[in-house]
Amino acid sequence: MAIPAIAKGETKMSIWGKTADGTPVPIYTLTSGQIEVRVMAYGAHLVSVKAPDRTGKMADVVLGYDSLATYLITPNPYLGAIVGRYGNRIAGGKFTLDGKTYQVPLNEPTNALHGGPKGFDQYVWQSHEVPDGVEFTLVSPDGDMGFPGTLTAKVRYTLTGGTLRIDYSATTDKPTVLNLTNHAYYNLHGDDAGNVLDQRIEINADRFTPVNKSLIPTGELAPVAGTPVDFLKPEAIGARIDADNEQLKIAGGYDFNWVVNSKPGTLRVAAVVTDPVSGRKLTVETTEPGVQFYSGNFLTGAFTGRHGVKYEKHAGFCLETQHFPDSPNHPDFPSTVLRPGETMHSTTTLTFGVVK
């Protein structure tokens, strides 16, 4: 069955529930002629994406929960969340900016992950509809999780045909560091249909950033050639995941940052994933310098998703378009510093299609 022709998009809002302090949480349903997307104001989460297989059968291809209440439980695996102020890891939670050292509270034994114990994923963002979608805004005060400067962050989701576009922007009143990304977990079989190990991934990157035993980059930009992290040609996620490789053993699978080929700041393909069973295809494009491919190694079944399915190890994969982990402590990495008078802009697109 052919994918339906593109129809005029529609956005609908309802209140999904309230936080513990009584704050209402709007959820928005974005529809086109091809896919349906749900996003909510709590954590600016991407809650679901319903996309057709090669026969036209729809399934949710993003892991998520049936109720707001489950999203409110912490800690959690960040399903679909916007993470910040600094997505990914900062070693020791410490960084120095303009000669001053800042400390972010640790939420891993030796690292601050995704902005610390209360990151952007745990706030109700302000929201309003825009053409073809919705824009979320969060004002993070000076000193929030130890980060300097009052930061105003905006995340805009817009849907056209089979493409969900995520536009990020931010301004600050003091020099700060910033790394925003979306932490959706994808399963092109469907969110209730087993693991992702047979899905085939291609990553447009000749290099990656190897990590130490704390999952912090060593500073090297290492070639992928001849290693199990070479996805320049499509390969099943599970084909080499248990290879005798030090990096894979450290991470328990894939959990690394790849250096996307071509010029940062230009929208180019970062990764393509296909499911040979359903025919579904996901193409990720970004202006960011890197993409974190994570194979769901730390999912344990502790959280029950839609359809009563427990999300076990490798139930989903993430493609987090980003600046590199721990960049504030690596002067040779692309800078994540944002200064007053500047505006950070970043775009990522997620295109859902099919292959025969």
Q: Catalytic amino acids?
A: 183, 320
Q: Can you tell me the distance from the alpha carbon of 287 to that of 258, in angstroms, rounded to the nearest whole number?
A: 14
Distance (Å) of CA 76 to CA 39, 87, 116, 239, 343 = 18, 15, 13, 28, 30
Q: Of all helices (H) and strands (E), which one includes residue 108?
A: none
Cα 298 from chain centre: 15
In DSSP terms, 349 is beta-bridged to 165, 285
* Phi, psi for 142 (deg, rounded to 5): -55, 130
Rounded CA-CA distance 65/43 in Å is 14
- For 268, counting Cβ atoms within 10 Å of its Cβ (0-12 exposed, 13-18 middle, 19+ buried), the class is middle
Q: Give the DSSP per-residue string, 8-54.
A: --EEEEEEEEE-TT--EEEEEEEE-SS-EEEEESBTT-EEEEEEE-T
d(CA 204, CA 271): 6
Q: How far apart are CA 322 and CA 258, in angstroms?
A: 10
Please name which of 315, 293, 288, 318 lies closest in space to residue 302, comparing C-alpha atoms. 315
**Alpha-carbon separation of residue 240 from 150, 217, 228 (angstroms):** 44, 21, 6
Give the contacts of 250 (CB within 8 A, at least 6 positions apart). Answer: 211, 212, 213, 215
